[in-house]
Amino acid sequence: MKKPRFTIITVCYNAEKYIEETIASLLKQKFTDYEYIIKDGKSSDSTMKIVENMLVQNDKVCIVSKRDNGIFDAMNEAVSLAKGEYLFFLNAGDCLYNDRVLQNVDLYLKQNPMIEIAYGNVVLLGKDRKRSRTYSRICSKSIYAVTGDCICHQVMFTKRELFDEKEFDLSYKVCSVRDWQFYFIKRKKNFGCMDLTVSIFREEGFCTSHMQEYEEETLRCVQENFNSGIIFGYRIIAGMKKSVFLRRMLRIFGEILFQKSKKYSE
């Protein structure tokens, strides 16, 4: 049986506010060679009712609703069910940018068959602002880790077999995706930088509500995956961020050196 080109994964819990627009953004895609896995954490609201009204469970759609040990456990379980060549996480509240995203990514991967992790750009949707973020090629290099930042996983298409090498580490409560990404950057996997916008990502998600754990776990990610030079650089920059003025300066330099963030316009 032919593998689907993509496995799209949505993990959710009590996501009735956003799940409809997430699913709708996938259903309107012009490219349809994908399977769709929804892993719900046994929601107590109307999330599953919305899912069942929008999707017919068949060979292309897999819906699992049962308790799990958090978002990364849910993501691991969904990965274990995936059959696609490339995996993409589109969690509740996130949307594909337009109806040609999968079509454009498929074309890029056909033109670059050695790529193991392809990433594009994102529109960040905050409470009172919308801005676009463009990731450069350097964002998949070790030097980028001195910032403590990583590529937004909502713009990454990853070869299925990489998850056989490393799944998401459940000892992380917030930064397991960052740890996973740093692991493969360290091992110099073939990252591909796509010049296209992939998704719209809501910044009000899990990490933003766990900032203390985020800072602690980011340091751990850097320490466990990179050499002393990168760790030293990260500690200096982390210290500088405690100053409002220096934090602003670092943001400006970061946008020049690594990625561009600007006010979004249609």
DSSP letters for the chain: -PPPSEEEEEEESS-TTTHHHHHHHHHT-S---EEEEEEE---SSSHHHHHHHH---BTTEEEEE---SSHHHHHHHHHHH--SSEEEE--TT-EESSTTHHHHHHHHHHH-TT-SEEEEEEEEE-SS-EEEEEE-GGGGSGGGGGGT----GGGEEEETTHHHH----TT-SS-HHHHHHHHHHHTT--EEEEEEEEEEEETTSTGGG-HHHHHHHHHHHHHHHS-HHHHHHHHHHHHHTTSHHHHHHHHHHHHHHTEEEEE---
On whether the pTM is more than 0.85, the answer is yes
pLDDT value at 263 more than 70? no
pLDDT class for 210, splitting at 50, 70, 90?
Answer: low
pLDDT value at 141 more than 80? yes
Decide: residue 64, CB within 10 A, 0-12 exposed, 13-18 middle, 19+ buried: middle
pLDDT value at 257 more than 80? no
Any idea which of 37-41, 60-64, 117-121, 241-245 has the lowest mean pLDDT? Answer: 241-245
C-alpha torsion 178→180→186→187, nearest 10: -160
pLDDT value at 47 more than 90? yes
